[in-house]
Amino acid sequence: MARFYAIFVRDLRKFVRNPLVVAMSLLMPIIYLVILGNSFQGELKNLSLAVVDLDRGPYATRVFELLRSIEAGPRTIKSVRVADQGTAMEGLKDGVYKAVLVIPPNFSRDIMRSTGPELGLFLDNAESISSNTIQGALLSAMPGLKREFIPIREERSVTYLRDIELYRKVDYDQTLIPGVVIMAIFLGAMTTGAFNVVMDRFLGVEESYFLTPLTRTDIVMGLVASGLLITTILAVLVLFLSSLISGIYLWQMLTFETAVLMLAVIVLSTLGLQGLMFIIMGRINHPRIVGVLGGFLNVIFFFPSGAIYPVESFPWWLKGFARLNPETYSVHALRALLFKGANLAAVNGDIIFLAVFAAVSITLGTVAFKRAL
């Protein structure tokens, strides 16, 4: 225990004496939340739509009313009335507008006579996400637009779908919180534990270990323990700060059981990634290699974890990797606990996987660690 404690204290002191690493480990996930949460926004909003009214009849007015209902509700579009069709099309080509809706002459008359009225929707399909969103918004807001006409009267046989949300409304930036916490854990695992071994090798400090009775297990377990303490504190702080930034008040939402389960997920995730870093860096002797690996590992573990995009929509090969990715289970468990108030039965599969992964990775990391020149 004395040898283990010596390594543990030494690693803590090294981390605390480097305030830049502490600040970056804490601030980078928060900055990621703020930038990504406000750049993606989840649902697209305020997409510019130019509307050219060549009809000026009663049903053209109805079209404008429906567009205003979209602007006042989901705010998917922001319509602009343009008098000239040529000007609108030039604006579409120049990127001023995302789409152009043309109400042709005699549109109202064609509706009254049921002679196949049409609306022209010109889309900038170079930006497929924006164009598909505008098209979907118009199709859902204008009954019959998919059939290229607006019916005179509402059909009584139309079936309405009333959607009911099981949980409280969760904004897009709030859905990023589990991923941000996992990113903080990953950064903590990268800058503690195995990374200090790499720096000791690079600086020649590791050779002093040979003059001590420290075993391979003493070194690995001491560094893992110190990294666990540091990373857990950072992850909890990131969870708290990101929740405040996104408008979630943890003390009003979490029960004691939920809080304990979230802490267990954070601890097990940290242990698993700490062990994984020892497996990968156990024999690396230059910090430059760690820098190259850090960005690569963050991409291949974070993005397939379901933190941004649902795992179910991945191609089969990436979905297979996600099933082996420990961050997938961490994100799933944190999301269920934070937004659904889940209990142990709902996340026990995630916790079991993380516990097994942590035990296996630390064992293999200890074996892979080289206590020799």
Residue 157 or 229, more confident = 229
Question: Mean pLDDT, to the nearest integer, of 173-177?
Answer: 82
State pTM to two decimals: 0.69
What pLDDT is stored for residue 160 in this prediction? 40
What pLDDT is stored for residue 263 in this prediction? 94
Query: Domain 47-147 maps to which CATH number in 3.30.160.20, 3.40.1710.10, 1.20.1250.20, 3.20.20.70?
Result: 3.40.1710.10
Long-range contacts formed by 32-35: CB under 8 A, 24+ apart: 32/176, 32/180, 32/183, 33/173, 33/176, 33/177, 33/180, 33/242, 33/245, 33/246, 34/245
224-248 burial, b at 16+ Cβ within 10 Å, e below that, comes to bbbbbbbbbebbebbbebbbebbeb
Residue 322 or 286, more confident = 322
Rounded-to-integer distance, Cα 173 and Cα 256, Å: 25
Rounded-to-integer distance, Cα 197 and Cα 282, Å: 8
Rounded-to-integer distance, Cα 168 and Cα 163, Å: 13
What average pLDDT does the chain have? Answer: 77
* Residues whose CB falls within 8 Å of the CB of residue 165, separated by 6 or more in sequence, listed in order: none
Q: Are 184 and 194 in contact (CB under 8 A)?
A: no
Residue whose C-alpha is closest to residue 273's, from 360, 207, 155, 346:
360
- Paired with 99 in beta bridges are 49, 123
CA 239 to chain centroid, in Å, comes to 14
* Residues whose CB falls within 8 Å of the CB of residue 223, separated by 6 or more in sequence, listed in order: 7, 8, 11, 192, 193, 194, 196, 197, 274, 278
Q: In percent, how much of the chain has pLDDT > 70? A: 76
3-30 burial, b at 16+ Cβ within 10 Å, e below that, comes to bbeebbeebbeebeeeeebbeebbeebb
What pLDDT is stored for residue 260 in this prediction? 93
What pLDDT is stored for residue 44 in this prediction? 67
Instruction: Check whether 163 has a pLDDT greater than 70.
Output: no
Instruction: Check whether 88 has a pLDDT greater than 50.
Output: yes
Identify the three-state secondary structure at position 81.
strand
Report residue 325's pLDDT band, with 50, 70 and 90 as the boundaries.
Answer: very high
Rounded-to-integer distance, Cα 351 and Cα 356, Å: 9
Instruction: Check whether 272 has a pLDDT greater than 50.
Output: yes
What pLDDT is stored for residue 25 in this prediction? 64
Q: What is the pLDDT of residues 294-323, one digit of tens each?
A: 778 888 888 888 887 777 777 888 888 889
What pLDDT is stored for residue 319 in this prediction? 85
Identify the three-state secondary structure at position 260.
helix
Of 224-228, 269-273, 356-360, the one with minimum mean pLDDT is: 224-228
Of 173-187, 314-328, 358-372, the one with minimum mean pLDDT is: 358-372
Question: Mean pLDDT, to the nearest integer, of 85-109?
Answer: 79
Residue whose C-alpha is closest to residue 122's, from 114, 131, 113:
131
Domain ranges of the chain: 12-40+170-368, 47-147
* Residues whose CB falls within 8 Å of the CB of residue 172, separated by 6 or more in sequence, listed in order: 37, 40, 41, 42, 43
Q: What is the pLDDT of residues 51-83, one digit of tens each?
A: 888 878 777 788 788 888 777 777 778 888 888
Q: What is the pLDDT of residues 238-254, one digit of tens each?
A: 999 888 888 888 877 78
Report residue 129's pLDDT band, with 50, 70 and 90 as the boundaries.
Answer: low
| Matching residue, tokens 């099933």 | 323
Of 107-111, 138-142, 158-162, 215-219, the one with minimum mean pLDDT is: 158-162
* Residues whose CB falls within 8 Å of the CB of residue 81, separated by 6 or more in sequence, listed in order: 50, 51, 53, 64
Q: What is the pLDDT of residues 5-63, one digit of tens each?
A: 676 776 677 666 666 666 666 666 666 666 555 555 556 677 788 888 887 877 778 87
